[in-house]
């Protein structure tokens, strides 16, 4: 039986690249196939051995004139305690003067013989232990056609060994990290965020939900027929049946009882402390606030009552509040503020 490396070597002598990777070696490229890359997206289906056990990421690149719009989207359970509801977050940047092909110069996706690549990868799949890993789908827009690649878990193809035998083929797993690093740097986009960053991620996530529901990225998903019978065509709308809106990690937060009475130029909701969530503790924290009538800034916060477990989160948030100047008492009276913490998972939005 002829080994894979021997077959690659023979092709490399004729074409300079692996036959399974480049369609140009087949001699079947036509004018339509030769269209340039106008956009692509990468779907990562993460499997974890820790709760909540799954995440989906979409890295979407679209041509916009001479620039590229890059959207990084995270679809995931809210957290381990509310794994039955789904959140969507997104970060969006514009890369000036950068085309989609500039982002992956090492791989011309429009020249890839996708059916051959997918067959070759499936041929290489072996049984492997999967703890924290991801399967990947890549969909490239090449004129009027699409190139669709489905990459198995790297453990199933012994990726490091594949890098030596077929480096161009193995390089497909690197596209997402390379583009994400170019667009967003080394920061963890969805973690260790400020209150303002978290709000923006959730609002931008809400803006991409219609595309997810409409099937815009479904071609990048891989069916998991081994675990689901009968096997359904994978679709993001299945996960989004439990979407809870632009809540994210700040979905559980203290609610201001007087929200209808006051107007703020800046309002920050206190996050539900992790220890209180784990202990399923709720309650009301009563405050008296002294507000500067000229600026609307909170000058002093007095805690009247409430469980101590909420104190730090409340003080941190309320210190950032800013009322509209002129809409607070001018005679030095304290303003009451009752922040109510109710433990529970958000209710999915009905679609």
At residue 32's C-alpha, the angle toward residues 31 and 34, to 5°, is: 65
State the DSSP string of 137-166: EEEEEETTEEEEEEE--GGGGTHHHHHHH-
Of 43-52, 92-101, 302-311, 316-325, the least confident: 43-52
User: Where are any strands of DSSP class E within the chain?
Assistant: 37-47, 54-64, 67-77, 86-95, 133-142, 145-151, 255-256, 264-266, 283-291, 298-305, 322-323, 335-341
Of 143 and 138, which is predicted with more confidence? 138
Q: Which domains does the chain have, with CATH numbers?
A: 4-184 (3.30.1560), 252-341 (3.30.2420.10)
**pLDDT tens digit string along 154-208?**
999 999 999 999 998 999 999 999 999 999 998 889 988 876 788 899 999 999 9
For the record, the structure tokens of 90 come out as 């997104």
Whether the link from the prior residue into 52 is cis, omega within 30° of 0, is yes
**pLDDT tens digit string along 262-292?**
999 999 989 888 788 778 888 999 999 999 8
Provide the 3-class DSSP secondary structure of residue 334: coil
- Please, are residues 336 and 303 in contact by the beta-carbon 8 Å criterion? no
Q: What is the mean pLDDT of the chain?
A: 84
Closest CA to 351 of 198, 200, 214, 201: 214
Give the Å distances, CA to CA, from 331 to 87, 226, 265.
45, 70, 21
pLDDT of the residue at 127: 86
Res. 305: pLDDT tops 80: yes
Q: How far apart are CA 10 and CA 143, in angstroms?
A: 31
**pLDDT tens digit string along 27-60?**
444 444 457 899 999 999 998 877 778 899 999 9
pTM for the whole thing? 0.73
């Amino acid at each position: 039986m002829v080994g894979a490396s021997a077959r690659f070597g023979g092709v490399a002598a004729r074409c300079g690249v692996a036959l399974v990777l480049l369609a140009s070696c087949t001699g079947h490229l036509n004018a339509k196939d030769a269209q340039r890359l106008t956009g692509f997206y990468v779907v990562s289906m993460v499997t974890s051995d820790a709760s909540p056990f799954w995440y989906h990421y979409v890295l979407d690149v679209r041509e916009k004139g001479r620039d590229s719009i890059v959207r990084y989207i995270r679809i995931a359970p809210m957290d381990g305690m509310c794994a039955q509801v789904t959140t969507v977050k997104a970060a969006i940047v514009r890369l000036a003067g950068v085309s989609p092909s500039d982002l992956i110069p090492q791989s011309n996706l429009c020249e890839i013989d996708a059916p051959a690549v997918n067959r070759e990868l499936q041929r290489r799949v072996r049984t492997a232990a999967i703890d924290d890993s991801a399967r990947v789908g890549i969909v490239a827009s090449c004129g009027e056609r699409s190139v669709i690649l489905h990459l198995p878990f790297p453990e199933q193809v012994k990726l490091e060994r594949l890098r030596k035998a077929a480096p161009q083929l193995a390089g497909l797993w690197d596209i997402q990290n390379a583009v994400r690093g170019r667009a967003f740097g080394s920061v963890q986009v969805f973690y260790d965020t400020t209150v303002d960053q978290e709000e923006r991620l959730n609002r931008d996530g809400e803006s991409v939900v219609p595309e997810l529901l409409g099937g815009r990225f479904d071609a990048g998903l891989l069916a998991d027929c081994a675990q689901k019978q009968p096997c359904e065509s994978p679709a993001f709308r299945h996960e989004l049946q439990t979407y809870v809106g632009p809540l994210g990690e700040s979905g559980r937060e203290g609610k201001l009882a007087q929200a209808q009475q006051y107007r703020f130029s800046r309002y920050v909701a206190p996050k539900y402390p992790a220890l209180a969530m784990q202990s399923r503790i709720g309650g009301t924290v009563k405050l008296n606030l002294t507000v500067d009538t000229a600026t609307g800034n909170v000058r002093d916060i007095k805690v009247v009552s409430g469980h101590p477990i909420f104190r730090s989160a409340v003080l941190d948030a309320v210190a950032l509040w800013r009322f509209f100047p002129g809409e607070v008492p001018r005679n030095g009276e304290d303003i009451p503020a009752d922040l109510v913490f109710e433990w529970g998972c958000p209710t999915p939005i009905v679609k």
